[in-house]
Structure formats: C-alpha cells, structure tokens
Structure 1
Amino acid sequence: MSSKLAKLLSVYRQHLTVPWQEGLAAIQRVIFAVYDKTDELRLRANVDEFALVTQQAEKTWLLIDVTNAFPEWMASLEYRDAYFENPEDLAGYPMGELSEFIESMITQLKAQIVANASSDTVVALLGVGSLFGLARVSTLVEGIKDSVPGRLLVFFPGEYHPENHTYRLLDARDGWNYLAVPLIATE
C-alpha cells in the first residue's frame, strides 16, 4: 500500500473512532475518501483493509462496486446494438437514456442498501470514476444518501479543495460544492 493510501486508511480509522451521532441529516453521514486517481488500482487491491478497520470499529461493511454499472445497464437494453453502431445517439440525449441509466442505478443501489444495511453499516461505494462522462457522482450520492441508515463512504479518485468544499472527479471535470465529510490522503 502506498504511503498516501496508508495515511487515508489511518484517517479513516480515526474518523471511525468518533462515536456516531444519532439524528444527523443524510448529507452529514456521507464521507468522501479522496485519493489520487493514479492510486486507483492500489486502493482496489487494499480495499479489504478498509473493511477490516470498519469491523475493528465494531461496524458492519457493505461494499458496492459500480464499476460495471453502465456496461451491465447497456447489456440489458433492447436496442443496445443500435447504440453501439451510433454512440452519438446516447450523447445526444442528456435527459434521455443516460438519465434512465442513472435512475436505474439509483433504484438498484437503494434496493441493495435497504436489504443489507443497518444503522451501524458503512456502505462503501467503489468505482465512481467509471461514471465519468456518464453520470455525476453528486447525482448518485443525492439519489442514495437517504437510503443509507449508517454512513456512506465514497471512494473518490480526484481532488478536494477545502476553501470552497469543492470536489473534482479525476481532476478533470469542473468541481461541485458538496458538504460531505472529506477524508484526504496526504503524505
């Protein structure tokens, strides 16, 4: 594990030692674990360390990987072959099929969370970088946060700017202001 990811794990461990306050708004229960996009494979190789730390803090762990959400959704479409022949058809309808993808993903994630999470569960969302250009992480988090009874941990490959609470996915897209708790991987 790189030193930055070891530090992120340490910051996460410290965060879990603080007793969970009851009655917080859903947005106050969202945690963004921010790390450098070049550490994605290292993080994936060591995600079980985060699960172990969670269990040591006497919390339960529910890992949800959204990496394959879009290809699985595309495979389920009746007209998928037509989209592969003319991919611009998908790009041309920002409120069309892609909004259907986002809605479908949110519905599936909510069902998985409701079925498997309790008030002491950390729901860990992995693979949000794969949504770049297809869906906004902020839309996904907004769509599922109220379904998470414990904490929502979003593994976020990108940047966080504390001066204005701005997150930038993969350091590429214009950031958005979000009031989640940031955990930063620094040396």
Structure 2
Amino acid sequence: MSRVSDLIDAYKAELSLTWKDNVSGGERVWMLVYPPDLERQMRHALPSMELATTQAGRGWVVLDVTDDFGRWLSSHRHAEAFYEEPSDLTQSILDQFETTLVGRIREALRLAPANAVVALVGIGSIFPFLRASSVIKSVDSAVTGRLLVLFPGLHDPETHSFRLLDARDGFNYRARVLDPQKDLA
C-alpha cells in the first residue's frame, strides 16, 4: 500500500471510534501528519476522505487556507510597499494576518455541524509568516466536532512535538495524531 493509502486508513480507523463529547477542544483536533512531498497526493485524496466521513455518518467541511496570506496581503493598504520591501512585514503586521486567519477558521468551525469533521488544508502556506501552533491553539476552543489538520511535516512520538515543513523547532500539542504506524504495531 502507498503511504497516502495508509494515512487514509488511519483516518478511517479514527472515524470508526466513538466520539466523546466531554473532551477539550485540543483533544478534538486530529493531526494527519505526512511528509511535505505528499501534499498534492493528500489533496487529491480529499474526496476519498469525504466519502469515508459521510459513510461514518459525519459531516464534512473543507477549509483551504492556502491562498489566505496572498489575498490578505494584496488587500492590505500598504501592499505595494510590502512587495517592494518584504522586510517591512513586521511582526505586528503579521499579527493582523493571524487575527484574520484565526477569525476565518473560527467562523468555519462555528458554522459546521456539531458532528462534522472540518478538514483544514493548506496550513503549510502560512510558513514562515505564522506559527501553526499559535493558529491551532487559537481555534481549538471553537471545535465542536473534529478539526482535521492536514499537516505537512514531522511528528516526534517521544516528545509529542510537531514540525511544520520540517523547519522550525517543534511545538508540543495535545492533538490526536493519526498515525498508520501505530496500527501496525
């Protein structure tokens, strides 16, 4: 089987479990971690994941944030200046983008049915502008069903830390990791 098939099978296995309602928002987040070079294949697998989700009696919502930074930046009143001098994108300006992105994700979570899986796609596109850990922690309290984060990067099971695009120092987070390897053990 391919790595993508293994990841989809791990997702299906998680879907088959009973959802507990008395868990924190952070425990309602599922991290589907895969090597960054599988990003296109994982996006191609979204219809299979949707089918598995609906067959399990759950709702399915895809939230793709891939283009959010570009749209936000192009609509900023100082966009032309940022294009000419990218170093002018200070942390306070990037914090504005984070507020906008977090608001968009929280709104999608609010509108999703309580039994739905909201698939967050394109989280890698926020690198190097924002930290995925900050965005995920800022939205986890709004998760009523499950938030499935398609996460191109690494997960270290010993420290339970994640590294987006294998780049920055890892962040420790309490999300459930969907790992096909643990099913093989």
TM-score, length-normalised on structure 1? 0.93
**Equivalent position amino acid for 1:15 in 2:** E
Conservation of the 8 A alpha-carbon contact between 1:69 and 1:105: yes
Distance 1:112 1:172 in 2: 28
SS in structure 2 at match of 1:5: helix
> Unpaired segments of 5 or more residues in structure 2?
none
Distance 2:163 2:113 in 1: 30
Distance 2:36 2:23 in 1: 30
Q: Name the structure 2 match of 1:98.
A: 94
Q: How does 1:59-138 map to 2 (within 5 A)?
A: 59-90=58-89, 93-94=90-91, 96-115=92-111, 117-138=112-133
Distance 1:169 1:13 in 2: 23
Conservation of the 8 A alpha-carbon contact between 2:9 and 2:180: no
Deviation at 1:33?
A: 0.2
Distance 2:32 2:180 in 1: 8
Deviations 1:11-69 (A, max 9, x none): 11011111101111111111000111110111111111111111111000010001001
Deviating above 6 A after TM superposition, structure 1's stretches of 4 or more consecutive aligned residues are: none
Distance 2:44 2:13 in 1: 21
Q: Name the structure 2 match of 1:176.
A: 171
SS in structure 2 at match of 1:61: strand
Percent identity of the aligned residues? 35
Deviation at 1:143?
A: 1.4
Distance 2:35 2:115 in 1: 28
1:156 to 142, 151, 155: 151
**Equivalent position amino acid for 1:161 in 2:** D
Deviation at 1:112?
A: 2.4
Deviation at 1:183?
A: 1.0
Conservation of the 8 A alpha-carbon contact between 1:161 and 1:167: yes
Distance 2:25 2:109 in 1: 14
SS in structure 2 at match of 1:38: helix
**Equivalent position amino acid for 1:110 in 2:** R
Deviation at 1:113?
A: 2.2
Q: Name the structure 2 match of 1:139.
A: 134
> Unpaired segments of 5 or more residues in structure 1?
none
Q: Name the structure 2 match of 1:54.
A: 53
Distance 1:110 1:75 in 2: 22
Deviation at 1:123?
A: 0.8
TM-score, length-normalised on structure 2? 0.94
Conservation of the 8 A alpha-carbon contact between 1:66 and 1:126: yes
SS in structure 1 at match of 2:153: strand
CA root-mean-square deviation: 1.3
